[in-house]
Amino acid sequence: MQKIKTKIKKAVILAGGLNSRMLPITKVIPKVLLPYKDKLTIQYLVEECVNSGMEKIYFVVRDVDSLIKKYFEPDPKLNFLLQKYGKKEMVDKLNQIENYCEVEFVKQPEPLGEADAAYAVREVINGDDFAVLLGDTIYLSEEPAIKQLINKTETGKCRLKMGDSRFIFTKHGYEVFCARYKKDQDKLDKRIEDMFSDEEICFAIFSGKKIRVGELDKYRNLFIE
């Protein structure tokens, strides 16, 4: 993939939660591992990050040893069998996935919602600007949604750039978010934007097709498009 120049090198993909709207499927399969056409949702998300210049991705998950982690880990036994039976092209494809970028997994202590998941990465972000992607929404667009958001001009007292299911935090904006979230007494199901006033948010509308995989009825409809 072509390297993109940007000062934002880190992305956070929120892939935990109870996924209750997709049960019983998500009892065993995280929604980011659900397929759309010829790829898993997670593949679209990672490619969006890499094509926007991200070099490290943090996944916020319920279980750090989940199937999501397995997707990115080398599988020597599988590679051996593929090589043995002449499937070298599949080995190359798996190697590409395993080497897209550096990935790390952060456990969300309780499934309290979106804002809590974003708060969970406070100890690993180390003061850097970073992007956040919700794991139940993918965009099919010529210019990746995160890149569109990075390129959006800030106005007024902007502390958070956001579009549907995508966010950009500056160091100061994230500090404000963490301070406000820590003081909030009612944390359940709070959204990231709930920690900011409208005047502090730069909103963006993305070009391209939006695909949601987080609700069972909508997900079923994807197969009859």
3-class secondary-structure state, position 53: coil
Tell me: the pLDDT tens digits for 113-161? 899 999 999 999 988 999 999 999 999 999 999 999 999 887 778 999 9
Q: How many CA atoms lie within 13 A of 75 on its CB side?
A: 18
Q: Which two tokens stand for residue 86?
A: 């002449």
Q: Is residue 3 part of a domain?
A: no
Structure confidence at residue 2 (pLDDT): 43
What is the CATH number for 93? Answer: 3.90.550.10
Structure confidence at residue 145 (pLDDT): 95
Q: Is residue 25 part of a domain?
A: yes
Q: For residue 142, how many other CB atoms are within 10 A of its CB?
A: 7
Q: Is residue 205 part of a domain?
A: yes
What's 63-128 look like in SS3?
CCCCHHHHHHCCCHHHHHHHHHCCCHHHHHHHHHHHCCCEEEEEECCCCCCHHHHHHCCHHHHCCC
Give the count of domains, the chain.
Answer: 1
Q: Contacts from 216-222 at CB under 8 Å and sequence distance 24+?
A: 216/21, 216/22, 216/25, 219/22, 219/34, 222/36
| Residue 205 belongs to domain spanning | 10-224
Q: What are phi and psi of 91, to 5 degrees?
A: -60, -45
**Angstrom distance (rounded) from CA 11 to CA 55:** 8
Tell me: the pLDDT tens digits for 69-80? 888 888 888 888
Q: Is residue 185 part of a domain?
A: yes
Q: Is residue 199 part of a domain?
A: yes
Amino acid letter, 15: A
**Angstrom distance (rounded) from CA 61 to CA 107:** 5
Residue 225: pLDDT band (50, 70, 90) is low
Q: How many CA atoms lie within 13 A of 58 on its CB side?
A: 22
Q: Is residue 209 part of a domain?
A: yes
**Which residue would you say has higher pLDDT here, 126 or 194?**
194
